[in-house]
Amino acid sequence: MRYVFDIEGGNFDKAGQASSEIKKVMKQLGIEPAIIKRTVIALYEAEVNIVAHAYRGTLDAVVFEDRIVLRLCDVGPGIEDIAKAKEKGYSTASPAVREMGFGAGMGLYNMEKNADVLRISSEVGQGTVVEIVNYLNNRHS
């Protein structure tokens, strides 16, 4: 099953809508609540990052029998130093983003913690691609 969503950069009123839809799908499929929670937390952080930093993006979610693959691509400024961005507390978020309760430098940390596989690639001035893979059983958690 495949689901595709557009994500609007800068629009915090809509941030989380795609993650919410994926949560509903996973619930309907009867996936274990703990796996749903890990997956949607990683996804929500990735979605909020697009809203906070990029101009626009897409989420392409594919549910396989044993795993869910979430690919988020954005058009935006990109990440200059991915290793640094993963450090707890490091953030380049604007004051407006911080007012929304984000930008504390926990986003990539939370994504890493809740994803079985996390791949990030980025080109400065072009955009970022984040891929999250979570297995739908407990062997990988």
Partner 1 sequence: MKVQEMMDLVGGKLVCGESVHNQDIYYGFASDLMSDVLTLHASQHLLITGLANLQTVRTAEMADIGVVLLVRGKKASPEMCELANDLGITIIETSFSMFRTSGLLFTHGLQPVY
d(CA 110, CA 126): 24
Binding mask 54-93 for partner 1 (x = CB under 8 A): ----------------------------------------
Instruction: Report helix, strand or coil for 115.
Output: coil
Binding mask 96-125 for partner 1 (x = CB under 8 A): ----xxx-xxxx--x--x------------
Q: Which of 40, 50, 73, 133: binder of partner 1 (CB under 8 A)?
A: 40
User: Given the complex with partner 1, which of 29 and 124 has the nearer CB atom?
Assistant: 29
Q: Which amino acid is at 29?
A: L
Binding of partner 1 at residue 30 (CB under 8 A)? no
> Exposed/middle/buried for 130, CB within 10 Å: 0-12, 13-18, 19+?
buried
Show the tokens assigned to 79: 């990440």
Alpha helices in 16-121 (DSSP H): 17-28, 33-53, 82-85, 95-99, 107-114
Binding of partner 1 at residue 28 (CB under 8 A)? no
Contact residues toward partner 1 (CB under 8 A) are: 12-13, 15-16, 19-20, 23, 33, 37, 40-41, 44-45, 48, 100-102, 104-107, 110, 113
